[in-house]
Chains A and B, each alone.
Chain A
C-alpha cells in the first residue's frame, strides 16, 4: 500500500505544476536565505569558535587601545600555570584602499606561531620569515584575494604607525582546521618596535596584548586571576580573559546586528510558512470531494490527513533540499565577493541541520489546519462539494 500511497502523494503534489513550482521556489529562496544569514551569523562568531580553551589574552583593563609595557612578559611568564607566552600589536595599515580591510598583527614570530599551531606555515618559509625583519606571513585566503605570492613586496599605509611600510611576503599559512581564519597578516613586532623607537620613542616597547598558554584548560580562571593580581595598582592594570571571551567581546559590540540578522532569518521562514499554509489550504479545499470519496471508500481520516501532510512535506522537502544544496555554491560566491570582510565563511553542519529542521517544520505546520479540517469532514458534506 505504501507504494500506491506515495505515488498518489507525488502525483497530487505536482498536479498544479505552476502553483507547486512557485511554492517550491519560495521554499528554495527562504531556505537559502536562512542558510546564508545563519552563515553570516556564524562568521561573526568564527573568531570565538576558533579560540583555544587554554589560551589567555591579557590586555589593559581600561581599554584595548591602551598598550601594556613589554616588561610585563617576564612577570606573566613567571605566573604558576603559564606554559608559554607571546605578544602582539594591532598594526592597522591600509593596503592600497581603505576598503581592502584585513587584520595585520605585529607579533613575536617564534613564540606566536608556537602558540597558534592552527596557522600552518611550511618550515622553509617560516625560516625565511624569522630571518627577515621586514618579512611577513599572510593567510591563504588573503593571498588568493589579493594575489600575494612569496617574495612579493606589499606596502601598507600606517594609520596607527604613520608612514608607508614595505613588507616582503616570506610565507603563506594554511589553516589546520576548516574554521581557521586565513585572512590575516603577521609581521615582526621587533621590526615595528625598532622603527617606532626611532621615530616615536615614547611609544616603543609597548604591546597590545599578551597571549599566555596555560598548562591546562581547568586552570584558566586561577591563572587569569593570578596574572591580573600581579599588576594591581600598577600604572597599567591588566584584564586577563580566555581567548574566547576576548573574541566574544568584539561580537558583543555588534550584537544588535547579529540579533537583527537572526530575526530576519526566522521571519523569512515564518513568511514561507504562511505561503505554504495558504497553498495547502487551497489544495485541500479544491479536493474536498476527493477526500470525501476516499473516506466513503473506507479510508480512515488519518490516511487522508497523512496524504495532505505527505504532500506538504514533499513540497517543503523538495524546496528545502534544493535550498540546502544551493547554499554551498552561493555561500562560496558570496564569500568571494566579500573578500576578507568575513575571514571565515563556511556553511556549518548546524546551519544545514537548522535548514532541514525549518523545511520539515514548514511542511508539517502548513498541513496542520487542512489536515484537521479534512479529518473532521463529514463525508456527505464533502461529496456535496462536487455537486
Chain B
C-alpha cells in the first residue's frame, strides 16, 4: 500500500464482485492505494484483471461493494446517483478506447457537451471548446464530424472534451488501444503535456507497456491485487 500525505484519490480496502450466473466472482479484493494530485499513473494487468473496473470505481461510474473511495475530497461511495452525476460532471474527464464521440455533432459541439452542464453562456462554451481543440492541435478540424476525422484525431477531440471543463482528474481507459503506433504516440505525448504543463492528474488503464511508460508510475493489477508502484518517469 502506498500512502501520500494529501492524495487526490484515496482507496481503502475496496472490494468489487461481479455476479456470473449464480456465482459471485471477486474482481477487486481489498484494494488500497493513493494517487497524488498531479500524478500520471498507469494501471496495467492482463485482461479480466479488474483494471477497468478499478478505473470505473475511481471515476464514479460503477459502485464498490465495500471500502472507502475518496476522490477530490468526496467519499463517492456515499453519493446517490444524482449527486454522483453532478460530481462526475465537475471532477472527472473521460477518455475512452473507442473515443465515444457523438457522431451527429462536429468536433466543437462534442467538446462543448460537458459544458452544457455548467451555467456558461453559449458564447463562453464555444470559446472554451475552441481553446481546448486548439490545445490538442485540432483548430482546423472544429467543424468536422467524427466520421470525417482519423482515429487519432477523434481521440484528440475526446481528450479536448475531457479537459474542457477543467476536471480534477482525467481517467483514460486504453486511450491508445484502437490507434496505430504514430497516432498512439501523439495521444500519449498530449497526455504527458496535459500532465506536465497543465498539471492534470491522469489515471490511465493500458495493457501496452510502451503506453504505460508515458506515465510517472505503473501499478500492476493481477488476480484482484495491486502491485507496488513502479516509477518509470520521475515527476
Contacts and interface: CB of A to CB of B under 8 A. Distances in A.
B83 to A, nearest CB: 11
Nearest to B117: A298
B109 A386 contact: no
Contact of B122 (A3, A12, A299): A3
B85 A11 contact: no
Contacts of A333: none
Contacts of B114: 297-298
Contacts, number: 69
A180 interface: no
Contacts of A300: 82, 85
Contacts of B89: 297-299
A298 B100 CA distance: 14
A380 B96 CA distance: 12
A290 B109 contact: no
B113 A297 contact: yes
**Main SS at interface, chain A:** helix
A386 B100 contact: yes
Given A8-B105, A379-B61, A299 B100 contact: no
Contacts of B117: 297-299
Contacts of B105: 8, 11
A92 interface: no
A380 B85 contact: no
Interface string A1-35: 10111011001100100000000000000000000
A374 to B, nearest CB: 14
A386 B154 CA distance: 15
Interface string A288-301: 01100111111111
A301 B82 CA distance: 9
Given A289-B100, A379-B62, A298 B88 contact: yes
B98 A299 contact: no
Contacts of A295: 61, 85
A383 interface: yes
Interface of B: 53, 56, 59, 61-62, 81-82, 85-90, 94, 96-98, 100, 102-105, 109, 112-114, 116-117, 122
Interface of A: 1, 3-5, 7-8, 11-12, 15, 289-290, 293-301, 378-380, 383, 386-387
